[in-house]
Amino acid sequence: MQDLETIVVHHPFWQNLHQRYSHFLGECAGTQHFAPQQQIFQTGCEADHFYLIERGRVALETPFIPGKGVMIIQTLEAGEALGWSWLFPPFVWHFGARAIQPTDLVVLDARFLRQKASEDHEFGYELAMRVGNVMLQRLQATRLQLLDYGQPR
Amino acid sequence: MVSLVENERALSPESDPMLPSRYQVRRVRRENADTFTMELAASDQSGSVLFAPGQFNMLYVFGVGEAPISICGKTRNGLEHTTRTVGTVTSSLGRLRRGDVVGVRGPYGSCWPLAEAAGRDVVLVAGGIGLAPLRSALQTIVAQRPLRHRVTLIYGVRTAEDMLYLQELERLRDRGLQLYVTVNRATGSWRGNVGVVTSLIPRVPFDPLNCVAMVCGPELMMRFSMEELIKRGVPEQRIFLSLERNMKCAVGFCGHCQFGPEFLCKDGPIFRCDRIRRWLNIAEL
């Protein structure tokens, strides 16, 4: 069985990260299992963890909308990062997340990551670029989704 | 090489390429709220026809007009066309019933590169009704699939209710198709992927250096899918797109569907990515 440090640094989010950060990442990480339909985090709650999906599928959800209920915005799968609200003030989740399959997550302590990023700017740069890349991909996907591209040819 | 689906009789325009043949509606099958599949057979009962997956016919509703519609499959005696009611002609087509007669010209255009796909992984990326022009290619590829090669369909639709050929896709999955579906909006009890089709391209297992990708859907979706496939490492020379423009004559006379130096009707609709990529960025085209 892999140790936690190995699991964390082998996640695609940390691909090619300098190995001097491996021990730190291992120290601030844990793993958590979520059953289908189990809430991972809720809109408006403190964003105190950063999640990396190891296995399963997670739905990003809106808060309850009268007349529509809770709507799924996007699903994420193994190999992807979940959430970025933990990196930017006010550190509050804008959307919720729920497992829709049996899901294993690597859970990193957001305070530790932010602290490390402010003390070690090389790590901070790496972290910001990686989160920025996730945000870029999600923004592009959201733009396409807004255009509702599944329209008639 | 044009890969032909059976070879009983070529449906070729006669001496006058603008003269349609009379075809009878054999069956109309509703696929979803606004999309239907129509089986057409030659009125003279002369049997099945020859076409290559990816080609299209011009369907003429007498007194209304003509529209290019992809051939999405064949039956024992006829051809199937799936279309969505979006305009005057397709709305009229949607009102036809068994026994009604339409004019048919075709088949026209280029086809999916089935010969090139042999011996490689095949990735089909479809958006919405863009699955229809890929359907017969998919059927052929799955039927001929050697076990060592993956056949993958990445299919994006607006909602789960908009999916085409659901039962058929499930049968193909049982025969080895790797099927990935994503919806733009999750409705009802949908528990699958939600998001754009392009977001699945990095996740799906296939060998980018030894695969052929075939993409069909709205142009924006095709452009982003093409970029994702290239980012994944698929050579441009092995990415194929099915384009759509305003086709009128279907034989390169009228110029309505000109796209750079190409005419979509006779040089396309299926193009290799490296041959047309630069034209996609020119707004006037």
Mutation site for B-interface testing, chosen from A68, A144, A146 by largest number of B Cβ within 10 Å: A144
* B71, pLDDT greater than 60: yes
Cα angle at B74 between B73 and B76, to 5 degrees? Answer: 160
pLDDT at A152: 46
Least trusted range by pLDDT, from B12-16, B113-117, B175-179 = B12-16
Distance from CA of A89 to the nearest CA of B (A): 27
pLDDT band, very low/low/confident/very high, at B8 (cuts 50, 70, 90):
very low
Average pLDDT over residues B232-243: 96
Instruction: Tell me the β-bridge partners of B253.
Output: none
How large is the ipTM? 0.82
* B6, pLDDT greater than 50: no
What average pLDDT values come out for chain A (153 residues) when binned by 10 residues? 83 94 92 96 96 96 87 94 95 95 96 95 96 93 77 47
Mutation site for A-interface testing, chosen from B196, B221, B222 by largest number of A Cβ within 10 Å: B196
Q: B90: which 2 tokens?
A: 């397709």
pTM of the model: 0.87
Q: For chain B, say whether A77 makes contact (Cβ under 8 Å).
A: yes
- Count helices and strands in chain B by DSSP H and E runs: 6, 16
pLDDT band, very low/low/confident/very high, at B283 (cuts 50, 70, 90):
confident
Q: For chain A, say whether B232 makes contact (Cβ under 8 Å).
A: no
Ramachandran sector of residue B247 (left: φ over 0; alpha: ψ -120 to 50; beta: rest): beta
> Which DSSP letter does residue B5 get?
B
Sheet holding B56-61, edge to edge: B65-70, B56-61, B101-108, B21-32, B35-42, B79-84, B73-74
SS (H, E, C) chain A: CCCHHHHHHCCHHHCCCCHHHHHHHHHCEEEEEECCCCEEECCCCECCEEEEEEECEEEEECCCECCCECCEEEEEECCCEECCHHHCCCCECCCEEEECCCEEEEEEEHHHHHHHHHHCHHHHHHHHHHHHHHHHHHHHHHHHHHCCCCCCC
Q: Please, is B275 exposed, middle or buried when counting C-beta atoms within 10 Å of its C-beta (0-12, 13-18, 19+)?
A: middle
pLDDT at A67: 83
The identity of residue B79, as a single letter, is L
